[in-house]
Structures are given as C-alpha cells and as structure tokens.
Structure 1
Amino acid sequence: MRRLPTLSALRAFEAAARHLSFKQAADELCVTPAAVSHQVQKLEDELKTPLFRRFNRRVALTDSGAKYLTRLRLAFDDMEDATRDLVQHGEGEMVSMAVPPMLLKSWLVPRLSSFYQQHPQLKLRIADTLRYLEFDKDQVDCAIRYGFGGWEGLHSEYLFAEDMCPVCSPALLEGGKQLQGPEDLQHFRLIYTERRLVQWDNYLASGGYDHIRTPGQLWFLNSIHTFQAVLEGLGVALVNRIFAAEYLQRGELIIPFELESNLGHQPSYYFVTTEHHMRSAKVQALRDWIIKIPERRELP
C-alpha cells in the first residue's frame, strides 16, 4: 500500500508554491486562503518538514519545499497528460501540435498520409495558429514555429530556412506590362504579409536595391489572404516559395524575376516542444516523422 499525502493537500501545496501566495492558490482552487493554509500545514505535519517560510505579507519556499515542488510538478504533469489522453480522446493516443496556417495547408497536410502509414494508431489534433502557444496552458504537445530559434527553456530543432520569391498573377502582366526586375516594381502595388520576417525592403536591399516607391501597398496578417489577393491580380507579393509551389505548378502564379540575395541569419521553421513532452513516445514519433520530411517537393 502506497503511503502518500492526500491529493487535496498536494494540490494546495503545488498551487501555493507555484504562485508563492496562499491567496492566489485559493483563487485557483476555488477555496479560501485559510483552507489552503490548513492543507499545507497538514502536509508539513505529515512530512515532518517545513515547506514554507512564512512572513507578514508573503511566503517563500524552504530548500526542502523547492525540491519537493520540482518532483511534484513532474508527477502532476504526468497525471494531467494521462487523464487528458484517456478522458478526452478515448482509445488510441492523441498528440496535439500547433502549426502556422499556411505551412499547415501547403507543407504539412499534403504529406500527412505518410504519417498515418507509419503510425495508424495515433490521433492528431492540429491547431492552426500564428501565435506561440503555451504548451501546458493551451494543451498542445509540440509545435512548428517560425522565427530565429533560441526559445528559452524549450527543446527546438531546425527544420528548414525560409526561401522568399516574388509572385504575381499572369493576368497582371497582360497588355504588355513589364516586370523583369526590381526597377519595374514602381508600376505595381506591393502586397505584404505582416507576420513575415523578410519583407520587400529586406529582400531588395539584400540584392543591392534601395527602397522603391510603388503606387500603393496592401497588408495582410496571414499568408493565406496574401495569396488570395495575388490570385485576384491585386499586386505583387513576396512569399515563401514552399507556400507558392502549388500555385506555380498549376500556372496560377508566376515568378516574374528573382534576386541573388544574402539575408544573413534567415528566419526558419523549427520543431519545438518542452523537455517533458519530448520524453513522450507519441511526440517522439511525430518529431521523427517531421524531421525526415524533405524540405520541399520539386519546386518551380
């Protein structure tokens, strides 16, 4: 028979230790601060060890309390994962991942059939979002993130660098309009995606061109809408070549010109998760599959 403190006492201690506040712990657990204090005191008596130093308006963890919190949080994480997988998803294992919307549409979804060939028993829950989700709070196991890497306290692995190119609709050049180089952009509206870390000025400057005045600009938050605007002939956009591949292959878009540019440290895509989630077999299975995906199919 296991000799363990009551779950209510452990929950009270974990919340109070995490917030370093009995009041905030009480708010989280929907009880009174006195009830939290009572549970913590009961736990300390049972363990015969003080877990907190108590001052007039604050509390602090003892060395024993800090060590106990570290171990306890790992146990709580495991219980939370086990409960979520069992209760919310029933039979089979569920792995959840956050992915930028356009990367999901253009790069991940076309390849998912190979994942299910290798792991037919796994269930995938994919959140399409531009935000950096908090893994525990937002209940995601892993993510593909866009940026420069180096997220503190997280496990991240490089997938591929961003490769940008200008695109437009063939209809935009009807009637003899010329778009053979950056100097011709002065006759066209430029379309921007706000969240992209490489914009027109960066791209042009890396190729040796100064800022070019154009008839107008059109800005979108999401690449999906940028592509819709380009397909409608509203202007010229600078886009990720992987995202453009399907449209280029179908002849719906063209690359009017390209620059040999040197952008230095380029924004890239990374597989990101917590060290805790990285120990999960289901997350490792998804990670192994993603890491082995070729950077792209044949691209124009």
Structure 2
Amino acid sequence: MEKLPPLNSLRAFEAAARHLSVTAAAEELFVTPGAVSRKVRQLEEFLGTPLFLRGHQQIALTRHGSEYFKSISRALNDMREATSRLGRRVQKQELRIRAYTTFAMRWLIPRLSDFHARHPEIEVSLTTSLEDVDFDREDIDGAIRLGDGLWRGANSYWLVPNVLCPVMSPHLPSPDAPLSVPDDLSRYTLLHSLARPDDWADWLASVGAAGVDPRAGTMFQSSAMAYAAAIQRQGIAMAQLFLVEQDLRSGELVKAFDFLLDRASFTYYLLTPSGRPERPQMTAFRQWILERSVGPGGPPAR
C-alpha cells in the first residue's frame, strides 16, 4: 500500500482550505496558527508540491491544492459521518430480531410502537425469513418461529394460540351453491402458504372432509399474500385466527365455517440462544412481547 499522509496534517490543511484562513482553522482545531502552518508545510513536503499561495495575512489554494482539497474533504466527511453513525448505534443498543413476514406485518409491527415508547434507547433491527435459526452461526438476539417449542440450542417462550379456521371474502362468488358442509370446499379454490403447507390438510382431517384435495389450489409465499388473495375474492384461505382478527372485525373476511382447529403446543414461540448470556435489550424485548402476547390463561401444558 502507498504510504498515507499524516492525518493531523490532512485535518489542518482541510480546515485551512475550507476557511481560506490559517487563523480560523486554528480556532476550529484548538491549536495555534503556527501549529496549523507547520502541519500544512509538513503535508506539502510529503506531497512534494505547494498547496497554498501565501500572501500578506491571506492564503489561496494552488491548482494542485484545490484538486487535493476536493478529494480529501469528501474522504474526511465520509469518516465523520461513519463515526457519527457508529456512535449513534452504540448509544442506541441495537437489538436484532428475526420473524416470519406475516407475523411481522400483521402482529409484531403494529405493536412495536409501544415497545419503542417504553424503550427509546433500544433500536430494533427486524428481518424476516423462512429459514431455520442457528444462533451459533448467526448474529441475532432472538427469533419468532413456528413449531412445537423444542429447539436445539434455544430457549423457547410460547407466544400465541395457533387456532386454524378457513376464511373468505363475504362477497366470494359461489360456484354452485353456498357452503354448507366442509366437503363443499371441493368446489372452491383453496389458498395456501408455503410457510404453512400442511394447514389445510390438518384442518380438513379434523373435520372429516375426505372429499377435498388438501393440496389443490393456489400457493403463495406467505400467509399475508394468501389473506390478501382471500380479501380479493380469489378463494378461501386457511388462517391463523390471531393474524386475521382485524379483517374479521372489519368484515373484509368472514369465517367459512365455525369449525376451529387448535394446534395447542404447535404454535409461535420466541427463541433466544441458550448458549450465551441474554443481552439486556433482549431481556427487555422478551418481557415486553410476553406481556403483549400470552393471554391470562398462559400457554397450554406440554
């Protein structure tokens, strides 16, 4: 690598060039004008060319000095901004959380303002993914995952009931006749989520609807997309009730049947790494989300 010029000389030159005044540069840097002049001459000797035209009590940039000032001022400004950003992040106590897209959009994000109000010093970095979590390899503090509560290398905390029910737009056209029994679903388009590919099969089996193909229909990457398609009258989605409460209250969606399937312990959990101490900001988030999610009866027995 080429040898870099002395940083203090660069700072003195940049300040003097910006002010076109050695005195003003000295005041900014809290040194004497003589010290600024010495640092600038040191830089000129390093570069092998004059940077200033010096007159009586005034200075002007040479052509080389003007070109050099434009380049190094950008670099120093980038350094200042990078330092400021890092300082803000250190002061903010970053918290890294991963969740599923639908859970984040429909449950977590609408409630995050309450967490920010209680803990303004914590900066939440929220990402979404369907991938399994590996706390040994990934730099995250916690994750929200769907499962049975048993994860290797993780503490798990039960969050919400996982109750399944088919939902649809109240204006969904009927192919032949209105729905009366679950087997009538064979005449409708079923809307699926890649994140939960077995929900239709589990619910249909629980109600004994043997005449319906649980794999038929349209597949979407996330449940949020399936719910949106249901609202747009494209079919019937298998919903987790806690994620469509607002849609049911507003009337955009209605239950296709009142048959509910409670998956009990197979539901959403907050995971934290068991192999390392819990950071204070993660403790605050864990306490907050459990307060906002777990009902008065608490999680079901396992």
- Give your verdict on TM over 0.5: yes
Amino acid at match of 1:196: R
Shift in Å at residue 279 of structure 1? 2.6
Match of 1:100?
100
Partner of 1:241: 241
- CA, structure 1 residues 236+273, in 2 after alignment: closer, same or farther (shift >3 Å)? same
Give the residue type in structure 1 aligned to 2:236.
V
8 Å contact kept, 1:99–1:128: yes
Matched, 1:161 2:157: no
**When the two structures are aligned, how many residues end up with a matched partner?**
211
* 1:194 aligned onto 2:200: no
The separation in 2 between residues aligned to 1:187 and 1:285, in whole angstroms, is: 49
Aligned to 1:4: none
> Aligned with 1:91: secondary structure?
helix
* Alignment CA distance shift 1:262-1:98 (3 Å): closer
Equivalent-residue separation in structure 2 for 1:276 and 1:266 (angstroms): 24
Which residue matches 1:110?
A: 110
Equivalent residue number for residue 217 of structure 1: 217
Secondary structure at the counterpart of residue 269 of structure 1: strand
Q: How far has the Cα of 1:194 moved from its partner?
A: 2.3
User: Which whole-Å deviations, capped at 9, do the CAs of 1:150-200 have from their partners, x for residues lacking one?
Assistant: 111211122223111101112214698402330221221111112216422
Q: Structure 2 vs 1, CA of residues 100 and 88 (structure 1 numbering), >3 Å: closer, same or farther?
A: farther
Partner Cα distance (1:215, 1:150) in 2:
27
Q: 1:179 to 1:94 in 2, by over 3 A?
A: same
Letter in 2 for 1:93: Q
Query: Structure 1 residues 292 and 207, CA, compared in 2 at 3 Å: closer, same or farther?
Result: same
1:275 matched to which residue of 2? 274
Q: Distance in 2 between matches of 1:277 and 1:177?
A: 58
Does structure 2 retain, via aligned residues, the 8 Å contact 1:207–1:262? no
CA contact 2:182–2:207 (8 Å) conserved in 1: no
Mapped to 2, the partners of 1:196 and 1:215 lie a distance apart of: 12
Aligned in 2, Cα 1:295/1:210: closer, same or farther, shift over 3 Å? farther
Letter in 1 for 2:206: S
SS of match in other structure, 2:255: coil
Return the TM-score normalized by structure 1. Answer: 0.63
1:244 is matched by which residue type in structure 2? V
Gaps of 5+ in 1: 1-84
- Separation in structure 2 between the aligned mates of residue 119 and residue 152 of structure 1, nearest angstrom: 30
- Label 1:93 to 1:194 Cα distance change in 2 as closer, same or farther (>3 A): same
* Aligned-partner SS, 2:270: strand
Shift of 1:214: 8.6
Equivalent residues of 2:200, 2:214 under 8 A apart? no
Counterpart amino acid of residue 289 in structure 1:
W
Matched, 1:147 2:147: yes
How far apart, CA to CA, are the structure 2 residues paired with 1:278 and 1:249?
42
RMSD (CA atoms)? 2.7
* Secondary structure of 1:279's aligned partner: coil
> Helix, strand or coil: the match of 2:227?
helix
* CA distance in structure 2 between the partners assigned to 1:138 and 1:250 by the alignment: 40
The letter of the residue matching 2:203 is Y
Quote the offset at 1:219 in angstroms. 1.1
Q: Distance in 2 between matches of 1:94 and 1:158?
A: 24
**Distance apart, 1:217 and its partner CA:** 1.0
TM-score by length of 2: 0.63
Aligned counterparts, 1:77-96, within 5 A:
89-96=89-96
For residue 171 of structure 1, give the secondary structure of its aligned residue in structure 2: coil
CA distance in 2 between counterparts of 1:89 and 1:111 reads: 22
**Structure 2 residues without counterparts, runs of 5 or longer:** 1-84, 296-302
Query: Match for 1:258: what amino acid?
Result: D
| Structure 1 position 276, deviation (Å) | 4.8
